[in-house]
Each structure stands twice: as structure tokens, then as C-alpha cells.
């Protein structure tokens, strides 16, 4: 709960929202931050985590566990606050949560969808061994424009 103000400050940024699904609130308030933190506290198993850099909250990463016949798969989602961009923080966070997903959650497959203009996110995934599975043409409608989505995946081969 001590991260509410920092979470709201970082998340209340259109440059962050532009790279995320519209279900992510914008503007992002302290009430949104408190609601999110309360939801994460109740998760079992844990799926969402704060990302810290030099002791400061700098972003969030999570796995969205799938269900039914996809129950051994999860979608990875993350964002890094703009003041922390360019420090390879996402690359490290992706490595950690991927290991967690495979080892602790016993997942077989983790995947991510990335808007075609988010090259930094694509590189962070590729740096962790994620492979491009395909490009979904004209599938994202964001800010009154149509974009492609690049889909990445990694398999637990152990």
C-alpha cells in the first residue's frame, strides 16, 4: 500500500497507456492504484508483481493465467514508468517472471501481444528467448488508428 502514490504517478501517463489495452485506466488515479494493489494481494497463486529499480517502484508485470484447454498457458503483460525507460528493466523483469511461470506455476507456454510501434517491448522479449509467432494484421484499434499486433511466445522445454 505504500506504493499507491508512486504507482498512480507512473501509470497516469498517456505514453504508458498508448502501449497498453484500453482496459488499463487513463487517467490513472490513486483509487485505481489502491484497487489494483488490493486485487493483487488476494491473488492465489500470485500473478502480478511490482517491478523495482534501485528500491523504487518503476512498473508492474504479470501473468494472466488462461483457462480450460489453455490452462498451461499465460499471457505476460508489463509496463515500465517512463522515467525508467532505456535501463533494460523490462528485460530483467521478463526473465524473472518467465522463470516463475515455468518453475512455480508449471506453465508450458507464455505469450505476449505487442503493438507494432512498441519496438522496445519486442526487443525485451527477444532478449529473453521469446520468438515471434506471427503478426496479426490490422487487429488493434487504439487512439482512433488501426495497428498490427506482433505475437511472441516462449515454451517451457524442461
Residue 158: per-residue pLDDT: 67
Threshold 0.85, pTM exceeds: yes
C-alpha cell at 25: 485506466
Chunked into runs of 10 residues, the chain (158 residues) has average pLDDT values of: 96 97 97 97 96 97 98 98 97 98 98 97 98 98 98 92
Residue 21: per-residue pLDDT: 96
What is the rounded distance in angstroms from the CA atom of residue 153 to the CA atom of residue 151? Answer: 7
> What order of strands is seen across the sheet that includes strand 48-53?
48-53, 56-65, 73-80, 109-115, 145-155, 131-142
Residue 1: per-residue pLDDT: 87
Query: Domains in the chain, please, with CATH?
Result: 4-155 (3.40.630.30)
Residue 61: per-residue pLDDT: 98
52 neighbors 46 (Cβ within 8 angstroms): no
Amino acid at each position: 500500500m505504500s506504493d499507491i502514490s508512486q504507482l498512480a504517478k507512473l501509470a497516469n501517463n498517456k505514453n504508458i497507456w498508448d502501449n497498453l489495452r484500453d482496459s488499463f485506466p487513463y487517467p490513472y488515479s490513486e483509487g485505481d492504484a489502491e484497487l489494483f494493489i488490493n486485487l493483487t494481494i488476494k491473488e492465489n497463486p500470485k500473478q502480478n508483481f511490482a517491478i523495482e529499480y534501485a528500491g523504487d517502484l518503476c512498473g508492474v508485470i504479470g501473468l494472466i493465467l488462461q483457462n480450460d484447454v489453455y490452462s498451461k498457458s499465460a499471457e505476460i503483460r508489463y509496463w515500465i514508468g517512463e522515467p525508467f525507460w532505456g535501463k533494460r528493466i523490462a528485460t530483467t523483469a521478463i526473465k524473472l517472471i518467465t522463470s516463475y511461470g515455468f518453475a512455480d506455476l508449471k506453465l508450458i507456454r507464455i505469450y505476449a501481444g505487442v503493438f507494432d510501434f512498441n519496438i522496445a517491448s519486442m526487443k525485451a522479449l527477444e532478449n529473453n528467448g521469446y520468438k515471434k509467432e506471427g503478426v496479426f494484421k490490422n487487429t488493434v484499434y487504439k487512439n482512433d488508428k488501426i495497428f498490427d499486433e506482433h505475437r511472441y511466445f516462449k515454451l517451457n522445454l524442461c
